[in-house]
Structure 1
Amino acid sequence: MPETPEPHLPTAVDLPLQDETGAPGVGLVTQIFRFAVTGGLSAIVDFGLYVIGLFAGLPVAVAKSISFIAGTTTAYLINRRWTFQAEPSRARFVAVVVLYGVTFAVQVGLNQILFHVLPDHWWKVPLAFCVAQGTATVINFIVQRAVIFKIR
């Protein structure tokens, strides 16, 4: 009798390119576009609060932590309703909290490292922010599309 394979998180090969159980009538290209628009708006919130925090004299990690929370909250609320058209779900919310915990560590940690290793030039803050934000964005889209917004 063949064994049933253990469930696993999707790998790049497993990621669905068609939206068989995702948002009704919203394909991958539309989701990527909406995710990017939402991400742009959320990045403005995030970066704006980050710069304000730095200007106010907050430590780098504190300023980035506050801005991350505001930016990701904005992103989740818009993505749930517009990008993935998902109804509220307690299980999905818990999964998002876990995902955002991981991306928080990745984004704040990467930003902190780059902030301290890059030379002191005008582009240091935006470059550190963009690299950290971009890394977290890719992680967020893949996990949200493949896992979180398929949770009922």
Structure 2
Amino acid sequence: MPIELPFDDEEASTDVDLKTQIIRFILTGAGSAVLDFGLTMLLQYGVGVSGGIAKACGFVLGTTVAYLINRRWTFRAEPSTARFIAVVALYAVTFGVNVGLYSWLSHLWSETVIYSALAFVVAQGVATVINFVVQRAVIFKIR
């Protein structure tokens, strides 16, 4: 039995309108981004882990939480092996984009908390747009 999050008791369906999906995706993404950012900054500035590795760890935590919530609440989709494989492929791409942008911007700018936060926002924003478009248009259409 897959892990389920108790956001509502209605049966899952893909009949959620675009506006509702966008609002739910943003709320889910904001919460997941807080986890991602918190772990990234804690590892990088609290523990002394390199920026790329810290961001990678934050990304994995944030995207795992986001997927679990988005599958059930935002897109109201049933569990699917094909969908899970598609999500893993998408997350591999957005992982490269997100961590790559963060690392690249971190090398361009001074390594301070402010510039790291700015690099995080830019990388997260680009990855979020890619994630929403691909999840809505492709992944949560898979049966």
Per the alignment, residue 113 of structure 1 pairs with 104
Q: Which letter does structure 2 place at the counterpart of 1:100?
A: Y
Alignment partner of 1:53 is 2:43: yes
Q: Per the alignment, in what secondary structure is the counterpart of residue 88 of structure 1? A: coil
- Residue 60 and residue 120 in structure 1: after superposition, are their counterparts in 2 closer, same or farther (change >3 A)? closer
Matches within 5 A, 1:41-120: 41-54=31-44, 55-120=46-111
- Residue 69 and residue 122 in structure 1: after superposition, are their counterparts in 2 closer, same or farther (change >3 A)? closer
Q: Per the alignment, in what secondary structure is the counterpart of residue 21 of structure 2? A: helix
The alignment's TM-score, normalised by the length of structure 2, stands at: 0.88
- Residue 63 and residue 121 in structure 1: after superposition, are their counterparts in 2 closer, same or farther (change >3 A)? closer
Alignment partner of 1:144 is 2:135: yes
- Deviation of the 1:120 alpha carbon: 4.7
| Corresponding residue pairs, total | 130
> What percentage of residue pairs aligned between the two structures are identical?
58
- Deviation of the 1:116 alpha carbon: 1.1
Q: Which runs of 5+ in 2 are unaligned?
A: 1-12
Answer with 1 or 2: which has the greater Rg: 1
Higher helix proportion: 2
RMSD, aligned α-carbons:
1.1
